[in-house]
Amino acid sequence: MKKYCYYCPTCQKVTLMTLVKEDQNKNTTFLKCIVCSDTEQSKNCGVGQNGEDLGDGIKEYSPKASYEVGDILFHKTFNDTGEVVKITQRLNGQCVNTVLFKTAGLKKLITIPK
């Protein structure tokens, strides 16, 4: 699933959007804001003008992955993206990733990197 950063008029900020559909004849792209679930129409830019194709830039949260401060994660359960603001390592090897989600707020996610 392609994800884009795009300005959402409802949220009045740049949010993470998923591609709903592309109309190539009209050169129009429909994006759904994952924060408010509104669908935005982006014309004549194929998303690129105001939006940024993050592609692989957003990492889907997995307990077996390892992250760095500044990484942007997408968490399915929260249906939300957040930035890793702090990582602490426990003696048993687990990492506690403090992630600031856009709507869910601060969450601590445990990862066990191999």
> Where on the chain is the footprint of Zn ion (CB under 5 A)?
8, 10-11, 15, 33, 35-36
Residue 61 near residue 78 (C-beta atoms within 8 A):
no
CB 51 → Zn ion: shortest distance, Å?
13
- Closer Cβ to Zn ion, 59 or 102, answer by number: 102
Residue 19 near residue 34 (C-beta atoms within 8 A):
no
CB 37 → Zn ion: shortest distance, Å?
7
CB 8 → Zn ion: shortest distance, Å?
3
- For 12, 45, 90, 95, the CA distances from 87, given in Å and listed in that order, are 30, 37, 10, 7
What is the total residue count of the chain? 114
- Closer Cβ to Zn ion, 65 or 104, answer by number: 104
What's the half-sphere exposure (Cβ side, CA atoms, 13 Å) at 74?
20
- Strands 13-23 and 28-33 come out as antiparallel
CB 4 → Zn ion: shortest distance, Å?
12
